[in-house]
Amino acid sequence: MTVRLTLILVLMVLPGFSTHALAADRCQALIGTCAYYSCVDQERLSCGDKGYAIGYGRRYCEKFSALQFTPSFPGAESAVFPDSGNDWRDSVRTCLQEDMEAFFESDQPKDCSSLRAFAFGSHPRCYTEGPSFCALKPQSVIRIGLTIQGDLLTAESLQQVRDTAQICVAQLEERIDSESNAFVRWNLQQYQGIWRLVSIDPSRLPSLLKPYQLGE
């Protein structure tokens, strides 16, 4: 009998031991990797291939992890779009998974529809905290949109695009107010105008970003 198995057996007879806690520890150790979603489905809440963890979380985690984003050029472009797509990708992965941990630690019903609603609700905040979706260059935003285009026009996705756009309008307003360079400020205002339109009609995002399509 291995030392690890002996330790697990000992823990299982201790007062207060929970197999859920053991599964939680295993899944928590995988935060930051796409394997986290498989752990959640296998050990926390099994919703199958069409559930959020496997059908959306792991699927897009793997797709985004394979992407490599080109940084903005130094100078004016990096002043307008300062955040790295690669940093954004890694930050979002961890944020979404940490939020999912919060779901399992909460008193919300632990069923597949509740998990899906909670997870989708966490997307806009995770997209815009830390490296922000709103500060990525448009070519990176287009690559992200093309990666999820199969799901981009679903009701859930359109709502998260609308919510993210509203956050972008507010974040860009703060940057405009504090920007002293007239050229950078003008570009921020133009970009804010795009997100303002998207916040009204999120389905317009692909067409509004089309002029920026080259260059990633």
Residue 5 has pLDDT above 50, yes or no: no
pLDDT of residue 106: 94
Q: Where are the domains of the chain?
A: 17-208
- Residue 176 has φ and ψ, to the nearest 5°, of -60, -45
Assign 149 a pLDDT band (cuts: 50, 70, 90): confident
Render pLDDT for 87-96 as a digit per residue (tens, 0 to 9): 999 999 999 9
Cα–Cα distance for residue pair 12/24, rounded to 1 Å: 15
The three state secondary structure string of the chain is CCHHHHHHHHHHCCCCCCHHHHHHHHHHCCCCCCHHHHHHHHHHCCCCCCCHHHHHHHHHHHHHHCCCCCCCCCCHHHHHCCCCHHHHHHHHHHHHHHHHHHHHHCCCCCCHHHHHHHHHHHHHHHHHCCCCHHHCCHHHHHHHHHHCCCCCCCHHHHHHHHHHHHHHHHHHHHHHHHCCCHHHHHHHHHHHHHHHHHHHCHHHHHHHHHHHCCCC
Residue 73 has pLDDT above 60, yes or no: yes
- What is the rounded average pLDDT of the residues 159-170? 96
Render pLDDT for 8-63 as a digit per residue (tens, 0 to 9): 334 444 444 444 555 568 999 999 999 999 999 999 999 999 999 999 999 999 99
Going by C-alpha positions, the residue among 146, 145, 162 that lies closest to residue 196 is 162
Exposed / middle / buried, residue 165 (Cβ in 10 Å: 0-12, 13-18, 19+): buried
Cβ atoms of 69 and 140 within 8 Å: the answer is yes
pLDDT of residue 209: 86
Assign 210 a pLDDT band (cuts: 50, 70, 90): confident
Render pLDDT for 116-146 as a digit per residue (tens, 0 to 9): 999 999 999 999 998 999 999 999 999 998 8
